[in-house]
Amino acid sequence: MARSTSILKILAPKPLLTTAGCNLWNCSSHNVCRRNSTAFMSTQRKHIERVSSTVNNKINDGMPRHRRTSWTISSTFRGQHIKQHRMLSCLPLSGSSFCYDVAAEQSRSFSCGRQFSQRRDLRDHMPQVDSPATDVFKKPLMEPQGVFKGLETDFPCLARVKDTGPEPAYQKVTTGYKVFRSMKPFHLKLNKGVLPQIDVAYETWGELNKERNNAIIVLAGMSASSHARSSVENMRPGWWERFVGPGCAVDTSKFFVICPNNFGGCYGSSGPSSINELTGKPYGTTFPIISLEDMTNALFLLLDHLGIDRLYAAVGSSLGGMLSLQSAASYPHRVGRLVSISACAQSHPSSIAMRYLQRKCIMVDPNWNKGHYYDQAYPKIGMKLAREIATITYRSGPEWGKRFGRGRISEDESVSLCPTFLIESYLEHQGESFSTIYDPNSLLYISKAMDMYDIGEGFDSLEEGMSRVKCPVMVIGVQTDILFPIWQQRQMARALQDSGNEQVTFYELNSLYGHDTFLLDLNGVGAAVKGFLETEQRNVGIISKHKLRKEAKQTLPVGCPVN
């Protein structure tokens, strides 16, 4: 063992190290347990060796050779700073070198051979020596100002987040939904893909009237499930709990509300995690590439199954807003009204770039294994990083400035490479909490489908593609949205008008919550949606925000206030 290696703490954890564990350490001929490391700079090593030499001279002065011991100083890192120093004793007994951490309150010892000593506390036997040895136990070793302290060896990155600010109620849904299975071959738009059958999971609230004309389909974002609201089958709050229900924005006392899990997802609908009946194993990346048109077609297979020829309205947000738009374009005779919130008519390069980075995080995780990780190691690191990137696009700088500012996790902690600021801790928490509740392959497939979306594809212009939408439309955008910037909703509303649709309402919100506004702003989004769904439609064109809120305010009950 090289003499220049650094000295590390060798206190055995509970239970005592096994012989195999002990073999990770080596005892030199000088009875000092060392381990190879580059954690200390040469200046620190020299300082420690100088202190060790002083201690050894004091202890061994006048003692017989066979009773001499070799003491050395070991530093324990916490963050970037040396906070403790420990004295180690190595005694040559029975051919094995025993090492004691004498600074610990309950010291344990272990041998580098097969024998283990009993617990001993050597502090009572430590000789009292003058400076600098005694100073070691009183205060950390001091280095000249400006000297590099060495590499950080400990990263206590804990996701400590203050319970402030609203958050979406996303969860892993395993119960409470029904599943419709279409036994017909399902042909997909891209790559000549085909599935022998597909499943569509869904939940419903309210009652379908005799005319079967009061059905509203609520279409979710990328990572949400069919659980928009709590029910008898699943009492946990849904992702749109305050927006769907009796007297709420989507009033279940008036409408029969359906919320499906998106095709390609992982909460009951067919997706990469579904079992391929030909192999008996999950599809993984053998699942065909999907498009928003495919997802829309799957929705209308479900409506056929439920016996609903025409929807009263299709209401969607984020990905769901793109699907509601495509529903009205692909099935214009089957959609009575359209609400598209924080969505777009064609994906912009900035949004594509954000989603590309999320996919890249997952695909470079070795555990992703080209999409075949089921029943194996899960690509949690990649999924966590992907969600942290996504979270940046879901909220807004103004909210974070107000909510977190430059606040630190703890003013008492020294600066390290771990999260220092509350915003860092928030991202860490979001990534950790989401990393195991959604299937990574579903994220890859659905985000790719979003990137590929362009309602004007196959037409001479965006307006021509929009001309298929014949029903009254409400488009809602948020000024602070990073993922779907407000100009995209303006573009959608203008293109619809330019295509000849005279019943287009555009509602622009000024909210701190960015893209997540559709999940959190009951007064803004909820009032607008309720007013649009329950107001007789006319040739309104683009109307003002204040007029729309006034109309909505007249229809909202006490349970869904508008401030």
Task: List pLDDT tens digits, range 382-391.
Answer: 999 999 999 9
Band the pLDDT of 150: cuts 50, 70, 90: very low
Q: Which residue in 345, 435, 352 sits closest to 393, CA to CA?
A: 352
> 3-class SS at 531?
helix
Determine the residue type at 97: S
10 Å CB burial of residue 191 (0-12, 13-18, 19+) is exposed
**H helix or E strand, kind and range, residue 46:** helix 42-60
Q: Which residue in 360, 151, 374, 401 sits closest to 284, CA to CA?
A: 374
Determine the residue type at 149: K
Q: Which residue in 557, 562, 563 sits closest to 245, CA to CA?
A: 557
> 3-class SS at 395?
coil
DSSP label at residue 515: G
The distance of Cα 21 from the centroid of its chain, to the nearest Å, equals: 36
Summary mean pLDDT of the chain: 77
Band the pLDDT of 175: cuts 50, 70, 90: confident
Longest dimension (CA), the chain: 106
DSSP label at residue 124: G
Q: From CA 104, how far away is CA 85, in angstroms rounded?
A: 10
318 catalytic? Reply is yes
Query: What pLDDT was estimated at residue 337?
Result: 98
Average pLDDT over residues 270-291: 97
481 catalytic? Reply is yes
Band the pLDDT of 415: cuts 50, 70, 90: confident
* 417-440 tens-digit pLDDT: 888 899 999 999 999 999 999 999
Q: From CA 283, how far away is CA 297, in angstroms rounded?
A: 21
Give the best-scoring range by mean pLDDT among 120-134, 416-430, 463-477.
463-477
Q: Residue 245: beta bridge partners?
A: 251
Q: From CA 85, how far away is CA 488, in angstroms rounded?
A: 60
Q: From CA 186, how far away is CA 192, in angstroms rounded?
A: 11
- Which one of 199, 291, 515, 521 is the catalytic residue? 515
| Domains of the chain listed by start with CATH number | 19-138 (no CATH), 178-553 (3.40.50.1820)
The Cβ-side half-sphere exposure at 540, using a 13 Å CA radius, reads: 23
Q: From CA 102, how far away is CA 372, in angstroms rounded?
A: 50
Q: From CA 220, how far away is CA 242, in angstroms rounded?
A: 15
- pLDDT greater at residue 285 or residue 72: 285
The Cβ-side half-sphere exposure at 290, using a 13 Å CA radius, reads: 27
From residue 175, give the alpha-carbon distance in Å to each of 234, 256, 441. 7, 21, 21
- Which one of 318, 327, 347, 467 is the catalytic residue? 318
Token pair of 70, please? 């070799």
Query: What pLDDT was estimated at residue 112?
Result: 32
Helices of type H across 461-520: 462-466, 486-498, 517-520
* 286-345 tens-digit pLDDT: 999 999 999 999 999 999 999 999 999 999 999 999 999 999 999 999 999 999 999 999
Instruction: Check whether 3 has a pLDDT greater than 70.
Output: no
Q: From CA 496, how far away is CA 467, in angstroms rounded?
A: 7
Average pLDDT over residues 231-249: 95
Query: What pLDDT was estimated at residue 4?
Result: 37
> 3-class SS at 83?
strand
Average pLDDT over residues 240-261: 97
Query: What pLDDT was estimated at residue 417?
Result: 85
From residue 440, give the alpha-carbon distance in Å to each of 90, 191, 379, 384. 51, 22, 8, 10
Instruction: Check whether 450 has a pLDDT greater than 50.
Output: yes
Q: From CA 506, how far away is CA 548, in angstroms rounded?
A: 10
- Which one of 199, 251, 481, 521 is the catalytic residue? 481
Q: From CA 490, how far away is CA 487, in angstroms rounded?
A: 5
Token pair of 540, please? 């309104």
Polymer length in residues for the chain: 563
365 catalytic? Reply is no
* 179-224 tens-digit pLDDT: 999 999 999 999 999 999 999 999 999 999 999 999 999 999 999 9
Determine the residue type at 439: D
Q: Which residue in 336, 267, 275, 340 sits closest to 303, CA to CA?
A: 336
